[in-house]
């Protein structure tokens, strides 16, 4: 009626959604959409998940679709891989990816290699997901970033979301993919709200695996990061903008396959590159990006060596002040940018 009278109705506004709720929405929508999808892991059912990612799903879908498992990563990851080979689409939650080391044989030797070794006759549509990298005050055995570890292995797809849209869209894409996908989330982002567009609120919203996103346009230097460090890059870009330095911030989103084309196009525009990650420096994601740029056409556009900002090359300390200094901070990114630009 208002439209007939000449009034223009505004579209539904974007809303603030936490990463936790975005992941919960994705699981709910995919469980509803495809009866082959099921979730298993420690405390995912009756307790609603250790991080409440699966809140309400057991009550809605029951014991056959949301399954509590014993504390045996090797066991329940093996069950999930076998189920995927048999035609189901399991989502296997690790309480932290540090514990996925208990199941590394299942993830790499069983899930990642089977399609190739069966000449394509056996697909393994499985998602391994859970928190990755450092949390807060959980010391060395709970703070590793496994992006480089899993990104190293052919047969896997590896995604690493930052925002709520990343989290929802990548998880839905991962569940629908016919290949094994490792989804590396950040525990420290679970409670962080991000703006979610009207499109991202729909049930068919997916983020394509293998496509990076330019979070901020810039002309002086390219910042490339994944997961929580994307937020640090955005903060650093805001600081540097006040000094007349405009950073282009790329949210990698996917570790494997890596969208190097987007990085190359940005470097061709800015002529400078800084990579940022929470993982260790040796053989890291940043090292791979730098190597790919050096080997490709974008190398000719660089006006200075690429600079890496990484976690410290030590097991994670427990003490907070040492932990803070072992992870990239905004000041470290600002320093690296000024180094790259020689200012």
Q: Which residues are catalytic?
A: 73, 142
Question: How far are the Cα atoms of 78, 124, 170 from residue 88, in angstroms, in the given order?
Answer: 13, 9, 19
| Neighbouring-strand partners of residue 91 | 39, 127
Q: What token pair was written down for 103?
A: 């199941």
How many Å is the Cα radius of gyration of the chain? Answer: 21
- In sequence order, which residues have a C-beta less than 8 Å from that of residue 206 and are 6 or more positions away? 169, 172, 173, 176
Q: Which helix (H) or strand (E) holds 67?
A: strand 66-68
- In sequence order, which residues have a C-beta less than 8 Å from that of residue 203 and are 6 or more positions away? 29, 33
Q: Which helix (H) or strand (E) holds 333?
A: helix 330-341
Q: What token pair was written down for 279?
A: 């993982």
Rounded Cα–Cα distance for residues 35 and 2 (Å): 42
Q: What token pair was written down for 115?
A: 């399609």
From the list 151, 31, 51, the residue with the least C-alpha distance to 91 is: 31
| Neighbouring-strand partners of residue 18 | 193
CB atoms within 10 A of CB 18: 17
CB 167 within 8 A of CB 26: yes
CB 240 within 8 A of CB 208: no
- Quote the DSSP letter at residue 121: S
CB 340 within 8 A of CB 247: no
């Amino acid at each position: 009626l208002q439209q007939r009278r000449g009034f223009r109705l505004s579209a539904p506004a974007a809303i603030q959604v936490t990463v936790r709720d975005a992941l919960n929405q994705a699981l709910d929508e995919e469980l509803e959409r495809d009866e082959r999808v099921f979730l298993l892991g420690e405390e995912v059912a009756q307790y609603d998940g250790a991080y409440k990612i699966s809140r309400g799903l057991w009550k809605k879908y029951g014991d056959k679709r949301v399954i509590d498992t014993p504390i045996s990563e090797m066991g329940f990851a093996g069950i999930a891989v076998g189920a995927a080979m048999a035609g189901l689409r399991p989502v296997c939650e690790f309480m932290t990816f540090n514990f996925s080391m208990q199941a590394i044989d299942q993830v790499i030797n069983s899930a990642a290699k089977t399609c190739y070794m069966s000449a394509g006759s056996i697909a393994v549509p499985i998602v391994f997901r859970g928190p990755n990298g450092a949390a807060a005050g959980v010391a060395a055995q709970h703070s590793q970033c496994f992006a480089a570890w899993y990104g190293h292995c052919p047969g896997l797809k590896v995604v690493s979301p930052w925002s709520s849209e990343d989290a929802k869209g990548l998880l839905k894409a991962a569940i629908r993919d016919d290949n094994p996908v490792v989804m590396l989330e950040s525990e420290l982002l679970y409670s962080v709200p991000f703006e979610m567009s009207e499109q991202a609120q729909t049930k068919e919203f997916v983020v394509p695996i293998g496509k990076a996103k330019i979070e901020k346009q810039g002309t002086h230097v390219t910042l490339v990061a994944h997961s929580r460090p994307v937020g640090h890059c955005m903060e650093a870009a805001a600081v540097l903008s006040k000094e007349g330095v405009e950073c282009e911030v790329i949210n990698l989103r996917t570790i494997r396959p890596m969208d190097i084309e987007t990085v190359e196009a940005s470097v061709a525009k800015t002529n400078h590159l800084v990579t940022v990650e929470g993982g260790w420096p040796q053989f890291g994601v940043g090292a791979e990006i730098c190597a790919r740029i050096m080997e490709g056409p974008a190398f000719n556009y660089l006006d200075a060596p690429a600079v890496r900002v990484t976690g410290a090359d030590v097991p994670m300390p427990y003490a907070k002040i040492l932990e803070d200094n072992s992870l990239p901070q905004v000041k470290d990114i600002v320093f690296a940018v000024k180094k790259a630009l020689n200012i």
